Amino acid sequence: MRALSNPRNPLAALFVTVCLLAPVLLSTGYATPLAFLVLGLINLRILGGVRYPDYFKTLSVLSLASVGLFVLNVLAPAEGVNGPARGAAVFLRSVSLISLSMGFIFAVDPYDLVRALMVQLGLAPRVGFALFAGWNTIPLLRRDLGIIEKAQALRYGTRRRRFRDRTHTATALLAGAVRHGERVALSMAARGADKPGPRTFLKDSPWTRGDTLYCAAGFLAAALTTALILSLGLYTFDLG
Amino acid sequence: MPDLIRLRSAGFRHRGARAPVLKDIDLTVREGDRILIRGPSGSGKSTLLQVMAGLAPEYVPGTLDGIVEHLYASMGVVLQNPEAQVITPTVEEEIAFSLENDGVDARLIRRRTAEVLDRLGIGRLAARHPLTLSGGECQRVSLAAALAREPDILFLDEPTAYLDEASAAAFFRALEDLPARTAVVVVEHKIEAAAAVCARAWEVTPEGGLVPSDFRTPPPPAGSRTGKGSLPSETEPPALEVRGLSHGFEGFPPVFRRVDLDVRPGRVAALTGPSGCGKTTVLARIARILPAGPGSIRLAGRDALALKPRDFHASLLYIPQNPEHMFVAETVRGELGLSGPEALESADRYGLRNRLDSNPYRLSEGEKRRLNLCVALAERRPLYLLDEPTYGLDEAARESLVRDLGALADSGAGVLLVSHDEGFVGAVADTVFRMKDGRILREEVPRAGALKSA
């Protein structure tokens, strides 16, 4: 799911994504989520590096939750509420929020984001690199989980395995994760991760004028779209 | 030659431990020294290394006694498990990591990184994620990361434990080009490989002391598997029969193609080959850890894919590389009890009688493996699969394992083990299947093998 590459600073991409998410979060109408869904796709195009088949595949799977919300509103509407209408609004809102959030995840490499947080916002390198190491651990844990499940299933053989017995899979996985964490921490310490004084970065995460312009454009696009929807009387916010 | 480390009456006790793991250690390491530290599993070799590297007690909780002077300006450390040292997403950044922490200018980092990549012949890996590399490649990256700092002293904690013999030899060859002034302290079970680099050796005794050791004298042969038990009838179907097994991961070339192998009841077969050749993947396919693919697997003459889960689970036992992955109880007694009274009775023979009420996760590496073997012997399955059973074991524990696997085979079971420990394989296996370039070669071993030093 790692992004191929994109020229924008990950923090700029985060800022614009938040600008696009905020109006959708504050709206329960049809126009706002639709408009920002389109803006989100344009933003993805600008950011580049997104594998669209994977993106739409994941979006369609996660959107099943939105379908569920729609059905729930149709089948069991609140009193005095037009169920299908509310269901459609909720569906659009949740699809839009999922699409915008996923767009950021697909467009920005998590390593680049953490690196930008360290370089631009002063996140402690110890914390930043611990996040790197944590991200690296995910595939190792996935592999270990498969091995533990099978080794323990074979260990039980034909004996009945109660639910409580299955918790030992989690114990073994957790024990492995803790040990891995200890070793990584030792490796980081041995390589001077806690050394006081200034630190340099081989791969910098510079904030360019292009990033500033991109942020300004993103903010303006979000603000103008919201203003347009408001002026047309299409903005709705209804908690009822 | 100036001193780099001075230990005087040094001792170390881990937090929560009753007795110190190290005591009264006197040792001086000078510029250019090449020292091997050896000793039985759990004797405190790694702890001694951590004390010398200044990691204990700051990062390894415990109490340090005596005088410890670190007189070096810079050091490099390579640990046992290559995976556990990976922090960054590319090899280039991995090597640069310690230089970045030292605040070295990015241009100089780039130059030094390129130099060390070139020196170790791994320049082509610069942009790869370290976790996509083989164990041998990954450990060379760890060495490169340590060398990039141009250290006064290099600490190597069993750096070849996860490597096959060729990769281990290549790892130590890379150390031969070190500047003469660089001191090296190695903790290693593979004495012959380390002897190429080290000039003198010290042994950590089981009591926690340190004594000079003569590592150039080969140990006497011991631990051979002598008994063969009753030979199986030729008409009896093999415990395991694999035909035309192929496997590949999406987006990568096939790991292996059309692999054939069989294990007869009462026999031990070993699957060997260089790191990353697919040995563990073969086991994973047989044990159904990986989804089914091309090829057939028969267990005692029955198609493994057609077996119901219950029948499949009764047909074999899989002992993974990490012994903890098999643990299903809070105590050793609970672990053994699950496999019946026979397992509990065998606790004495395997030196676990005093640990029955201990949590299995708190056992030493050798004890954990012995516990799994106790369980395996009591389970009486027709087939046993073992993945790298000698990791973390010293010579005495390996010798004991040879005997135990012999007992397992003598009980009539078939055993298939994956190992890159050639000395161990020579001592225990009746048949060796060697994997190379995705293919497999069969070799019968006359049963006169004795355990060679790793």
* SS3 sequence of A21-88: HHHHHCCCCCHHHHHHHHHHHHHHHHHCCCCHHHHHHHHHHHCHHHHHHHHHHHHCCCCCCCHHHHHH
- Rounded to an integer, the average pLDDT of B97-105 is 95
* Cα–Cα dist A154/B325, whole Å: 12
For range B102-110, the mean pLDDT:
95
Residue B219 has pLDDT above 60, yes or no: no
Position with higher pLDDT, B193 vs A194:
A194
Cβ distance of A183 and B110 shorter than 8 Å: no
B227 — pLDDT class (breaks 50, 70, 90): low
Q: Dihedrals φ, ψ of B417, to 5°?
A: -120, 150
Beta-carbon separation of B96 and A202 below 8 A: yes
Q: How far is B327 from chain A (nearest CA, A)?
A: 7
Choose the weakest-confidence range: B101-105, B285-289, B363-367. B363-367
Question: What's the CA gap between B30 and A98, in Å, rounded?
Answer: 61
| Higher per-residue confidence, A19 vs B389 | A19
pLDDT at A240: 53
CA distance A135 to A153: 28
> Across residues B105-132, what is the average pLDDT?
92
Mutate: best of A129, A141, A186, partner B, most B CBs <10 A: A186
A 158-197 residues inside an 8 A Cβ radius of B? 158-159, 165, 168, 171-172, 175-176, 180, 183-193, 195, 197
Q: Name the percent of chain A in helix, strand, coil, to the closest 5.
A: 75, 0, 25
Cβ contact (<8 Å) for B101 and A192?
A: yes
Q: Is A140 on the interface with B (CB under 8 A)?
A: yes
Q: What is the ipTM score, two decimals?
A: 0.83
Instruction: Give the residue from A1, A155, A188 with the most B CB atoms within 10 Å of its CB, the best one to mutate.
Output: A155
Please name the residue of chain A whose CA is at the shortest distance from the CA of residue B311. A158
pLDDT at res. B82 = 82
Partners of B386 on chain A (C-beta within 8 Å) are none
What confidence tier does B218 reach under pLDDT thresholds 50, 70, 90? low
Catalytic residues of B: 158
pLDDT digits (tens, 9 = 90+) for B61-75: 999 999 999 999 999
Q: Do A154 and B318 touch (CB under 8 A)?
A: yes
Helices B91-101 and B135-147: angle between axes, nearest 10 degrees: 30
**pLDDT at residue A99, rounded to an integer:** 96
In the block, tokens 């190695």 appear at B186
What average pLDDT score do residues B73-102 get? Answer: 92
User: What pLDDT, in 10s, does the model give residues B147-170?
Assistant: 999 999 999 998 888 777 788 888
Higher pLDDT, B184 or B250: B184
Stronger pLDDT, A65 or B443, i.e. the higher one:
A65
Segment of B7-16, B39-48, B372-381 carrying the highest mean pLDDT: B7-16
Mean pLDDT confidence for B400-405: 85
Spell out the domains of chain B, with CATH numbers in brackets: 3-213 (3.40.50.300), 240-329+380-444 (3.40.50.300)
Residue of A2, A115, A144, A154 to mutate when probing chain B, most B C-beta within 10 A: A154
More confident residue, B447 or A81: A81
Please tell me the predicted confidence (pLDDT) of residue B234. Answer: 63
**Measured between beta carbons, which residues in chain B are less than 8 angstroms from residue A200?**
99-100, 103-106, 109
- Cβ contact B101–A201 (<8 Å): no
Cβ pair B103:A197 closer than 8 A = yes
Nearest to A186 among B79, B88, B145 (CB): B79
User: What parts of chain A have a pLDDT lower than 70?
Assistant: 1-6, 239-240
Quick check: B216 pLDDT over 90?
A: no
